[in-house]
Amino acid sequence: MFTDEVVIKIKAGDGGAGSASMRREKYIPKGGPDGGDGGDGGNIIFFCDNNTHTLSDYASRKFFAAEKGENGRNKRQHGKNGADLTLKVPPGTIIWRISQYGGQEQMADLTKAGDEIIIARGGKGGLGNVHFATSTHQAPRETTPGDPGDAKQLRLELKLLADVGLVGLPNCGKSTILSRISNAKPKIADYPFTTLEPNLGVVRNSEIAFVVADIPGLIEGASEGRGLGDKFLRHIERSGVIVHILDINSQTLEKDYQDIRHELEAWNKKLIQEDEITVLNKIDTMTAADAKKIATKFSKKIGKDCLLISAVSGKGLDELVNIISQKLKTLE
């Protein structure tokens, strides 16, 4: 299952208590204090792992705790430190702390595999009574308890790291395009909402390599929850280049175009790019002359050039990859 948002609770380990032990050996009366310190509690660490692709590990289990430190013991024995708990998350995971009043504060954005960060610190172990002995106070009973480990409520949000985002109505050919230009093998079918979760593919040519995200189709009202909704748009928020794909056979091209633009805007104004790449797909279904006529009329209406392609025949795909590459270079 693809999960891109979860709320969990975490608790770092409490420190162990210091010991109040008195040395007790035969023939040695009044042996003095020998209580050792408590061990430190374990930390909660988040690790950015390349082999993890979703937050589904956190979909059912909601509470994660690191080990407590052991209490100190007699003979000045230090309690064992609690083990850290390392939680793996996919690259692109943002960690938000939810305050007790519901406000949220970003604690980390883990984008590079191998990055790790301590999000909750274990409590320090307490002091044993050996620390409290002085010349006038030789049999101290004082100790300190361990400090409590940090407890937090977190929201984990995955925003995939894709250089390029493909958007469009269901069935316009997004997944087909991804399958033709990248190494990805998404499901393709002749009905709407074939794609239920984002697909990532890597496009590689002699000059450049970049990651493309194909997300579920959007429809008018997606921001109000229609269709599969618009929450998948979070996965193209980090994309520098947006490719807007339309089916050239549509009788309502201009409305299709505006509907998608409205949904992008409703999610995040940043997704409305002035220089978005607009593509008319499926030109193999008509004559070149007809395709050109439709494209010219449409371009005039929206005040922007559009690229003609066929994901099935492959026409225009090299040019599409080139245009994307050029755009990405200007963003570097």
**Exposed, middle or buried, 42 (CB in 10 Å: 0-12/13-18/19+)?**
buried
Which lies closer to ligand GTP via its Cβ, residue 109 or residue 284?
284
Judged by beta carbon, residue 232 or residue 267, the one nearer Mg ion is 232
The tokens describing 257, both together, are: 């175009």
* 171 scored as a contact of ligand GTP (CB under 6 A): yes
Q: Is 190 in the site for ligand GTP (CB under 6 A)?
A: yes
Q: Give the list of residues 6+ apart from residue 193 with CB closer than 8 angstroms, or none.
A: 170, 216, 217, 227, 228
Provide the pairing of β-strand 199-204 with 277-281: unpaired
Query: Which among Mg ion, ligand GTP, none contacts residue 54 (Cβ within 5 to 8 A by kind)?
Result: none
CB nearer to Mg ion: give 19 or 175. 175
* Residue 272 CB, nearest approach to ligand GTP (Å): 20
Report how far residue 238's alpha carbon sits from residue 161's, in angstroms, rounded to the nearest whole number.
6
Q: How many residues does the chain have?
A: 332
Strand order, beta sheet including 199-204? 199-204, 209-214, 164-168, 241-247, 277-281, 307-308
Determine if 52 is a binding residue for Mg ion (CB under 5 A): no
Identify which of residues 95 and 169 has a Cβ nearer to Mg ion in the complex. 169
The verdict on 194 binding Mg ion (CB under 5 A) reads yes
Span interacting with ligand GTP, options 17-25, 70-78, 128-136, 309-317, rule CB under 6 A: 309-317
User: According to CB under 6 A, which residues from 275 to 294 bind ligand GTP?
Assistant: 281-282, 284-285
Q: Is 195 an interacting residue with respect to Mg ion (CB under 5 A)? A: yes
Which conformational region is residue 229 in: left (phi greater than 0), alpha (psi within -120 to 50 degrees), or beta?
left
Using DSSP, state whether 203 is helix, strand or coil. strand
Contact pick of 7, 113, 139, 189 for ligand GTP (by CB under 6 A): 189
| Site map 152..181 versus Mg ion, x via CB under 5 A | ----------------------xx------
| 173 near ligand GTP (CB under 6 A) | yes
Closer Cβ to Mg ion, 78 or 174, answer by number: 174
Closest C-alpha to 8, from 140, 144, 155, 139 = 155
One of 164, 172, 295, 308 touching ligand GTP (CB under 6 A) = 172
Asked whether position 229 contacts ligand GTP by CB under 6 A, the answer is no
Residue 195 in contact with ligand GTP, rule: CB under 6 A: yes
DSSP state of 73: B
Total residues binding Mg ion (CB under 5 A): 4
| In contact, 253 and 308? CB cutoff 8 Å | no
**Alpha-helical segments (H) within 64-183:** 174-181
Strand partners, 278: 244
Q: Give which of ligand GTP, Mg ion, none residue 171 binds (C-beta under 5 to 8 Å, depending on kind).
A: ligand GTP
Q: Choose from Mg ion, ligand GTP, none: what does 148 bind? Cβ within 5-8 Å by kind.
A: none
As measured in angstroms, the least distance from the Cβ of 305 to ligand GTP is 19
Give yes or no for residue 129 binding ligand GTP (CB under 6 A): no
Q: Of 236, 230, 243, 211, nearest to 311 (Cα)?
A: 243
Question: What is the distance between the alpha carbons of residues 259 and 253, in angstroms, rounded to a whole number?
Answer: 10
Q: Which residues bind ligand GTP (CB under 6 A)?
A: 168, 170-176, 188-190, 192-195, 216-217, 281-282, 284-285, 310-312
